[in-house]
Structure 1
Amino acid sequence: MKIIIIGAGQVGGTLAENLVGENNDITIIDRDGSSLRNLQDKFDLRVVEGHGANPDVLREAGAQDADMLVAVTNNDETNMIACQVAYTLFNTPNKIARIRNESYLDHKETLFHNGAIAVDHLIAPEQLVTDYIKRLIDYPGALQVVNFANNKVGLVALKAYYGGPLVGNALAALREHMPNVEARVAAIFRQGKPIRPLGTTIIEADDEVFFVSASNNIRAVMSELQKLENPYRRIIIAGGGNIGAALASRLERDYSVKLIERNITRAEQLSEMLNNTIVFCGDASDQELLNEEHIDQTDVFIAVTNDDEANIMSAMLAKRMGAKKAMVLIQRGAYVDLVQGGTIDIAISPQQATISALLTHVRRAGIANVYSLRRGAAEAIEAIAYGDKLTSRVVGRTVGSLKLPVGTTIGAIVRNDAVLIAHDKTVIEQDDHVVMFLVDKKFIPDVEKLFQPSPFFL
C-alpha cells in the first residue's frame, strides 16, 4: 500500500515505524528537515520537505497514485486542507485527519460526514485518551482495557499479585475456579518477555497477564488473578485542558471529582462548564493544597497537564501523601517505561492511543479494530472472517487447524450477539469477528493475508 504521512512529529514518526516493515511504500512530508532526516536514517521510507497541503509538495510525494493520505500535524487546518487538496486534485481514495479542536469535532457530522470537507476518518487524540482513562476507572486494577465488537468483548491487562487465587497455580485452574465463566489468557509477559500461555503454565506474582472475555465477565476474571480493588469514588484531576475537562465531565455523574487548574481564567471557565466537579485554581504540586483536599482519602490522582515533568512530579507527590493510585499522561515515549510500575501506577501515552485508532483504518480490509499494546511491541486485532469455505483460509476451519504466526492467539469469536471463547475445536463461520493477540507485530501482514478471501484459494 502506498501511504503518504503528513507530519513527522511523534505521531507521524510512530505510525511510520509501525507500517514501514509491512510491505508498505511510505512517504513523509514535513517542513522540518532535521525531523525528516532522523526518520530517514532509521527507516526505509521517502521524505519530502515542504508544507503538507501544498499541491506541488503533494505531487512530489506521489499523491497522484497514493492509496492513502494520513495528515497528523499539530495543525488541524493543515490536516483538513491537505485531505481536501489530495481529494480534489489527485482523487486520493482514503484520507485520515487528526483533529483536536473541539469546535470542529462539535460539528463533525456537518463538516465531514456529508462530504463537505473530504476527510474519510477523523482521529481525535483527546477523545481517545479520555475514553482510555475512563475504561481504567471503570475497571479498578487494570493496566489496560480495550474493547471489540461494539463492546461485547474486552481484552484486559493486569498484574498478578501475591495472594491472588491463581498465583502459583496452572492456567487450567481458571476454569475450575470459574466453571460458569468463559475466559482465555491470550498472553503472559514475565519480566518483559512473552510466555506462551498453556494449560500447564504457572502464573507467577508480577506477571503481566492479558485475558479475553465477554465484557460482562471482566470483573469476575480479574478477581481470580488479583485481589479485586474496591470501586473508585474520589478522584482528583490535575490539569484543566481538553482532556482534563472532558474527563471531569464524563466522571462527575458517578464519582466525586475535584479538578486543579493553575490558570485562573481557565479555572473560571471550567467552574461554569462543569456541573458537579469542584474546580480549584492552584498548583497540583502544592503540598498544602493537596493536604487541604484530603489527598490521603483520594482513590485516584490523574495528572493530565501538557507538561510531562509536572505530571510525573505531582503524581509522585500525591502518592507519597496517600493517594491510593496515580495515573499520568506522558507525551515522551522514553518516559513511559521509566515511570510505570514504580510510584506511578499507570503511564498513559496519547501517541499509543492515537496510533491504535490510525492502524484500525490503515490495516487492510477485514480488519475491524486494532489496538497497539505494550508501547507498540504487541497488537490486538479484531478481524472479520469474510468469504466461504472455497475462498477463505479460515471460514469452516477449526481454530486448532489454522496456521497462525508464532505468538498469535485467538482469544474470542463474536457471532452475531454471542461471544465464544476460542478453543482448538471451535469452527470459524462466515462473518465471525475474531479477536486475536499478537506478541510480535511483525506478523501482522501474515494475519491480514490469512483473513483475506481469495478467488484462487481452494
Structure 2
Amino acid sequence: MNIVILGAGQVGSSLAELLAQESNDVTVVDLDRLQLQRLQDRLDIRTVVGHGSHPDILAQAGLEDADMLIAATQNDETNILACHLAHSLYKTGKKIARVRSRSYLDHPELFDRSENTSAIPIDVLISPESLVTDYILQLIDYPGSLQVIDFAEGKVRLVAMRAYADGTLVGKQINSLSDHLPSNIKTRIVAVYRRNQVVMPTGSTKIKAGDEVFFLAEAEHISIIVNELRRSKERPSRRIMIGGGGNIGFNLAQALEKAHQVKLIDRNMQQSREIAESLDNTIIIHGDVSDKDLLLEENIDEIDLYVAVTNNDEANIISGMLAKKLGVRRVIALVNNQSYVELIQRNSIDVALSADSITTSHLLHYTRKGDTVKVATLRKGAAEAMEVIAHGSENTSQIIGKKIGDIEWPSDITVGCIIRDDKVIIAHRELTIEAEDHAILFLSNSENAVEIANLFSPETKRSWFS
C-alpha cells in the first residue's frame, strides 16, 4: 500500500515505523528537516520537507498515486485542508485526519458525507483526546486493569490485569479459573507476561504474583472475572482527582461527575473558571498539580484514584508519584515520551499511557491487508490483538472448514474466540472456522500480523491439473 503521512511527530513517526515494517511504501511530510532525517536514517521511507496542506508539497509526496492519506500534524486546519485537497485534486481513496478541537468535534455534521455531499471529505476522523478519555474510563470501570480493549462492536473485551499475591488465582493453574466462576461465564487467558517475557498459556500454566495476565471474555462477564484476578482489598474508585483541565481532563470530569466524587486541579485561572461554569458536580481547584501543600489541603490521602492528564509529561509524572506517596491507592498518568513510560511503569505510577500510542493503535487496522476490523497494540507495540474476518469458502481459503488445531498458525499466536452470528464462542482446538467468522487473535510478536492478514484473505487454491 502507498501511504502518505503528514506530520513527523509521535503519531506520524510511530505509524511510519509500523507501516514501513509491513512493507508499505511510506512518505512522511513535515516542516522539521532534522526530524525527517532521523526517520529516514532508520526507516526505509521517503520524506518531503514542506507544509502538509500546500498542493505542491502534496504533489512532491506522490499523493496522486497514494492509496491513503493520514493527516496527523498538530494543526487541525492543516489536516482538514490536506484531506480536502487530496479529495479535490486526486480522489485519494482513504483520507484520515487527526482533529483535536472541540469546536470541530461538536459539529459532526461537518464531516458526515452520507447526509451532506458537500461536507468535508474525511473518511476517518480521529480525536486523540476522545480516544484517551474513553480508554481511561474503561480502566476506571475495572479496578486494577492495565488495559481494556473492545472487539466485535463491544461484545468482547480483552483485559490485562496484574496478578497480586493476595489474588484468588495466584499459585493456581489456569484451568482452575472455571472453578471460581459461574458455569455460564466463559473466558480464555490468551497470554501471560512474566518479567517482561511472554508465557504462552496452557491449562497447566500457573499464575504467579506479578504476572500480567491478558484474558478475553464477553463484555458483561468482565467484572466478575476481574474480581477473581485483582487483589482482595481493591475496591472501585469513587473519589477521583484529576490533574489538568484541558480537553481530556474536562471530558473525564464531565463523564464521571454524576456517579463519582470528582475534584479537578488546573493552574490556569481562566480555564478553571470556564470549567467551573460548564460542570455541575465537580469541585474545581485553581493551583499546581505538583504542589504538595495543596494536595494535602484537598485530602489527597482520601482519594481512590488520581489521574494526571496535563499537557506536560514531567508534571504528570511528578504529581502522580507525589500523589501515590501521599496515600492515593491508584495513579494513572498521561506520558507521551516512551522513554519515560519504560522508566516509571510500576514505579509509583500504576498505569502510564500515551495518547500517541492509543491513537496509533486506533489507526492500524485501516492500513492492514485483508479484512482486519480492529488492531490494538500491546506491551508498547511488541504484541498485538486483532479482529479479523474469515472471507471466502473452503475452496478459496486456507482456514475455512478447518479446525483451529489443524491450521498452521504462525508461531506465538493464540486464538481467543470466534464471533459467529453475534454469538461469542471461546476458541478450542476442535472448533471449526466458518466463512464470515470474526476471529479475535493475540500475537505476542507483532511482526506476524502480515502473515495473519494473508492467512485470512481468500486465495484460489492451486488446481491438481495446473
TM-score, normalised relative to structure 2? 0.96
Structure 1 segment 257-276 matched on structure 2, within 5 A: 257-276=262-281
Aligned letter for 1:193? Q
For the residues of structure 2 that align with 1:428 and 1:253, how far apart are their CA atoms?
44
Partner of 2:289: 284
Amino acid at match of 1:154: R
Counterpart in the other structure of 1:3: 3
Aligned to 2:228: 224
2:79 maps to which residue?
Answer: 79
Unaligned runs of 5+ in 1: none
Closer, same or farther in 2 for the Cα pair 1:394/1:85, shift >3 Å?
same
- 1:386-439 per-position Cα deviation (integer Å, ceiling 9, x unaligned): 222222222222211222111111101112221111111112222221111111
Task: Give the Å deviation of 1:137.
Answer: 0.3
Are residue 372 (structure 1) and residue 370 (structure 2) matched? no
1: CA distance between counterparts of 2:179 and 2:283? 46
Query: Structure 1 CA distance, aligned partners of 2:401 and 2:255?
Result: 43
Amino acid at match of 1:160: A
Q: Which moved more, 1:240-249 or 1:43-52?
A: 43-52
Instruction: Find the aligned partners of 2:260 and 2:421 in 1 and give their Cα distance.
Output: 34
Q: Name 2:146's counterpart in structure 1.
A: 143
**Residue 213 of structure 2 corresponds to residue 209 of structure 1:** yes
- Map of 1:314 onto structure 2: 319
Query: Structure 1 residue 294 and structure 2 residue 299: aligned?
Result: yes
Identity percentage over the alignment? 48
Q: Which residues in structure 2 correspond to 1:163-182 (within 5 Å)?
A: 163-178=166-181, 180=183, 181-182=185-186
Contact in 2 for aligned 1:391/1:457 (Cα 8 Å): no
Q: Deviations over 1:160-206 (max 9, x none)?
A: 11122221122121223336121111111111111111112121111
User: 2:158: which partner in 1?
Assistant: 155
Once the two structures are superposed, residues 287-332 of structure 1 have per-residue CA deviations (whole angstroms, 9 ceiling, x without a partner) of 2221222111100001100111111111111111111111100111
SS at match of 1:172: helix
| 1:381 aligned residue (362, 386, 391) | 386
Question: Conserved in 2, the CA contact under 8 Å of 1:234 and 1:257?
Answer: yes
Structure-1 separation of matches of 2:275 and 2:5: 35
Q: What is the identity, as a one-letter code, of the residue corresponding to 2:101?
A: N
**Any conservation in 2 of the 1:398–1:427 contact (CA below 8 Å)?**
yes
Which residue in the other structure is 1:401 paired with?
A: 406
Structure 1 partner of 2:95: 95
Q: Secondary structure at the match of 1:117?
A: coil
Name the CA distance, whole Å, in 2 between partners of 1:275 and 1:413. 43
Name whichever of 252-261 and 49-58 sits farther off: 49-58
Whether 1:199 aligns to 2:181 is no
- Kept in 2: contact 1:328–1:348 (CA 8 A): yes
Cα deviations by residue, 1:78-102 (Å, 9 ceiling, x for unpaired): 1111111112111211110101011
Decide whether aligned partners of structure 1 residues 397 and 109 sit closer, same or farther in structure 2, where only a CA change above 3 A counts: farther
Contact 1:392 1:457 in 2 (8 A): no
Residue 150 of structure 1: SS of its match in structure 2?
helix
Cα root mean square deviation, aligned: 1.4
1:125 to 103, 128, 131: 128
The CA distance in 2 between the partners of 1:18 and 1:434, in whole Å, is 22
Partners of 2:107 and 2:403 lie apart in 1 by: 46
Distance 2:125 2:193 in 1: 33
- SS of 1:351's equivalent in the other structure is helix
Counterpart residue type for residue 32 of structure 1 = D
**SS of equivalent residue, structure 1 residue 318:** helix
Q: Which amino acid aligns with 1:409?
A: T
How far is 1:357 from its partner? Answer: 1.1
- Separation in 2 of the partners of 1:285 and 1:333? 21
Deviation, 1:365, is 3.8
Q: Is the 8 A contact 1:236 1:298 kept in 2?
A: yes
- 2-structure distance, mates of 1:80, 1:39: 24
State the SS of the aligned residue for 2:178.
Answer: helix
Residue pairs, 1:318-397, within 5 angstroms? 318-397=323-402
> Equivalents in 2 of 1:334, 1:457: separation in Å?
49
CA contact (8 A) 1:186 1:411 kept: yes
Structure 2 counterpart of 1:54, which letter?
Answer: H
Q: Is the 8 A contact 1:390 1:457 kept in 2?
A: no
> Which whole-Å CA distance do the structure 2 matches of 1:314 and 1:175 have between them?
40
CA contact (8 A) 1:2 1:67 kept: yes
CA distance in 2 between partners of 1:112 and 1:104 (Å): 12
Query: When the two structures are aligned, how many residues end up with a matched partner?
Result: 458
Q: How big is the shift at 1:457?
A: 6.5
What does residue 43 of structure 1 align with?
43
Taking the aligned partners of 2:228 and 2:131, their CA distance within structure 1 comes to 29
Counterpart CA distance in 2 for 1:321 and 1:56 is: 56
Distance 2:462 2:372 in 1: 19
Structure 1 window deviating more from structure 2 (20-29 vs 289-298): it is 289-298
- TM-superposed CA distance for 1:456, in Å, is 4.4
Q: In the alignment, what sits opposite 2:53?
A: 53
Bigger drift between 174-183 and 241-250 goes to 174-183
Structure 2 counterpart of 1:221, which letter? I
CA contact (8 A) 2:370 2:454 kept: no
Instruction: Report the AA paired with residue 318 of structure 1.
Output: A
Q: Hey, what's the Cα distance between the residues in 1 that align with 2:197 and 2:259?
A: 38
Task: Work out whether residues 187 and 211 of structure 1, in 8 Å CA contact, stay in contact via their aligned partners in 2.
Answer: yes
Q: CA deviation at 1:150?
A: 1.3
| Residues in 2 aligned to 1:370 and 1:449: alpha-carbon distance in whole angstroms | 15
CA distance in 2, matches of 1:457, 1:381: 28
In structure 2, which of residues 238, 243, 263 is the aligned counterpart of residue 233 of structure 1?
238
CA contact (8 A) 1:194 1:439 kept: yes
TM-score calculated relative to the size of structure 1: 0.97
> How far apart in 2 are the matches of 1:156 and 1:150?
15
More displaced stretch, 105-114 vs 277-286: 105-114
SS in 2 for 1:20: helix
Deviation of 1:446 (Å): 0.3
